[in-house]
Amino acid sequence: MAPLRTALLQGPAGVPPSRREALAALEAAARTAAAGGARLLVASELFLSGYATDPAGRAEPADGPGACAVAGIAADHGLSIAYGYPERDGSDVYNAVQLVSPYGYPLANYRKTHLFGDFERKFFTAGDTPVVQADVDGIRVGILICYDVEFPEPVRAHALAGTELLLVPTALMRPYEFVPRALIPVRAYESQLYVAYVNRVGAEGEHHFAGLSCLAAPDGTVRARAGHDGEDLLLADADPARIAAARRDNTYLADLRPELYA
């Protein structure tokens, strides 16, 4: 099976743009990513709304205007897109990520299950579905959001469910740079999957985002890394052959005894 070239869009930088500006940035990134052979573009947590602003005020349904616009971008450039947005469902608002296909139809929608701090708990309802997956060009793709990946259990659940590439749109703040630098490669290694960790960057209100977006491979190496400051677009391959090799050399999953754990 051929590698899945994946584009990681680090940004936006600083004050969140309007939805129109965010969509324009996404369209430009999709054009560049497609020209570079990418089949999947991943944007950051709450990409369409901003993180530190009132996300409930910008929330919309999973099939709302923002989703329709992203679907059009995906179809225009022939690649799948995963993006963060605040999802309204009745009286609840979720911190969500939607994955759309190159043909513009939705493949998956994930709601963040582990909310970080009082700020997120004020605005969002926690999701209760831990493993959400879809196929992109024959690769089994899963989704978590930011704080979710800092718990080993959700990542291992994805590995056991067959996830090969785990997308993690993120709004990680300083001074927690150890997460992308150290923890993300370990998560990839211990569960033998790829982790696409895609962060915001710059200052937004009192929040200073750490950047350092990366694609970590199942052998614990980092295949691509963005800087600490500034917007960036990374292109790197998620190669199923590396997953097979990692699982051959590292037998964590084969040796696991889940019956021992409640």
Residues known to be catalytic: 45, 112, 146
Report the alpha-carbon distance of residue 4 to residue 29 in Å, rounded. Answer: 17
Give Cα separations from 207 to 16, 119, 175 (angstroms): 12, 11, 11
Which among 51, 34, 139, 128 is positioned nearest to 89, based on CA atoms? 128
Token pair recorded at residue 249 = 């050399």
Q: How far is CA 145 from the centre of its chain?
A: 6
DSSP 172: P
**Amino acid identity, position 20:** R
Pairing of strands 40-42, 80-89: parallel
7 within 8 A of 38, measured Cβ to Cβ:
yes
Task: Check: CB of residue 33 under 8 Å from CB of residue 188.
Answer: no
With a CB cutoff of 8 Å and minimum separation 6, the contacts of 196 are 6, 8, 42, 165, 166, 167, 168, 215, 238
Q: How many angstroms separate the CA atoms of 133 and 141, rounded?
A: 5
Find, among 31, 13, 38, 40, the residue nearest to 230 by Cα: 13
